Amino acid sequence: MRHIKRAVALVLMAGVLGCGPASAFDANNKVELEKFIHDYLVSHPEVLIEAQDALQAKQAEAQKSRDSKVIAENKAEIFRSSDDLVVGNPKGDVSVVEFYDYNCPYCKHAVADMKTLVANDPGVRFVLKEFPILGQDSVAASRVSIAVQMIAPDKFRQFHDALFDSQQRADGDFAMAVATKLGIDKTALTKKLADPSIDARIRATYSLADKLNITGTPAYIVGDEEIAGVVGAGALEQKVQNVRKCNSAAC
């Protein structure tokens, strides 16, 4: 940052010392000023790196502020929707929300992080949001998943884990086979798939993700922060502790 300030100061001095206000930007002075800036940057290329770092930091801060605002505006839908399944402590003091797709390979790794976090912290509410974005197979699998939540919530965790543990691509048929293998009545499940509220739930999640600018999976919301990608159980645990400490994911 000191290089940036120095460069700006030198540019201003060059303009002031070169001529008076009336002719400060004539053609000759413009050429001299451009050469001065060029030579300075060539001699001090670290200025460009500092400028890029400063820009990225400013953009990151602006994005964080935007995310925090959108999360606050949609807090109830994000953290307390009656449609979502909660893993861990339903009355926990801190919620971790995950948007996932059954065909996302990164989400398969993230399942272990969820299990670790819930096992290590009895105060965590882990909220699962069906966000099928990887094609029609994912949509079909999520429709079956939501139907399982509706008619056999006690078996949903087994169903959820079985789909993620499998190496087979999840689609409607495979999801149905997993559900029936767990003893869920196929006829009742097929009938439930006609319930229009299933598609309504998926559309609602799409709409929420759009507001949050979530475009991939897994994606998490912890406190006032959006977290993209697999970050590991340790990172999520730290965010949870920060929320308890200062009511923000980053203290």
Q: Kindly report the number of other CB atoms within 10 A of residue 238's CB atom.
A: 16
Verify cis geometry, omega within 30 degrees of 0, for the bond prior to 218: yes
Q: How confident is the model at residue 39 (pLDDT cuts 50, 70, 90)?
A: confident
Which residues contact residue 120 at a Cβ distance below 8 angstroms, ignoring those fewer than 6 apart? 233, 237
pLDDT of residue 46: 84
pLDDT of residue 34: 81
pLDDT of residue 12: 47
Give the Cα separation of 199 and 140 in Å (integer).
10
pLDDT of residue 42: 83
* Average pLDDT of the segment spanning 245-251: 93
Q: How confident is the model at residue 20 (pLDDT cuts 50, 70, 90)?
A: very low
Q: In the CATH hierarchy, which fold is given to the domain comprising 75-246?
A: Glutaredoxin (3.40.30)
Q: How confident is the model at residue 147 (pLDDT cuts 50, 70, 90)?
A: very high
Q: Does the structure show a pLDDT above 90 at 3?
A: no
Tell which residue, 151, 139, 114, has the closest CA to residue 231. Answer: 114
Q: How far is CA 153 from the centre of its chain?
A: 26
pLDDT of residue 64: 77
Tokens of 31: 């050429």
Q: Does the structure show a pLDDT above 50 at 16?
A: no
* Average pLDDT of the segment spanning 1-7: 49
- Stronger pLDDT, 241 or 66, i.e. the higher one: 241
Overall residue count recorded for the chain in this entry: 251
Q: Structural domain boundaries of the chain?
A: 2-64, 75-246
Q: What DSSP letter does each residue of the chain carry, written as one string? A: -HHHHHHHHHHHHHHHHH--GGGTTSHHHHHHHHHHHHHHHHH-THHHHHHHHHHHHHHHHHHHHHHHHHHHHTHHHHH--TTSEEEE-TT-SEEEEEEE-TT-HHHHHHHHHHHHHHHH-TTEEEEEEE---S-HHHHHHHHHHHHHHHH-GGGHHHHHHHHHH-SSPP-HHHHHHHHHHTT--HHHHHHHTT-HHHHHHHHHHHHHHHHHT--SSSEEEETTEEEES---HHHHHHHHHHHHHHSSS--
205-238 pLDDT tens trace = 999 999 999 999 999 999 999 999 999 999 999 9
* Average pLDDT of the segment spanning 181-202: 97
pLDDT of residue 29: 74
pLDDT of residue 144: 98
Q: Assess contact for 62 and 98: CB atoms under 8 A.
A: no
- Mean pLDDT (the chain) is 88
- Stronger pLDDT, 59 or 162, i.e. the higher one: 162
45-78 pLDDT tens trace = 887 788 788 777 777 777 777 888 999 999 999 9
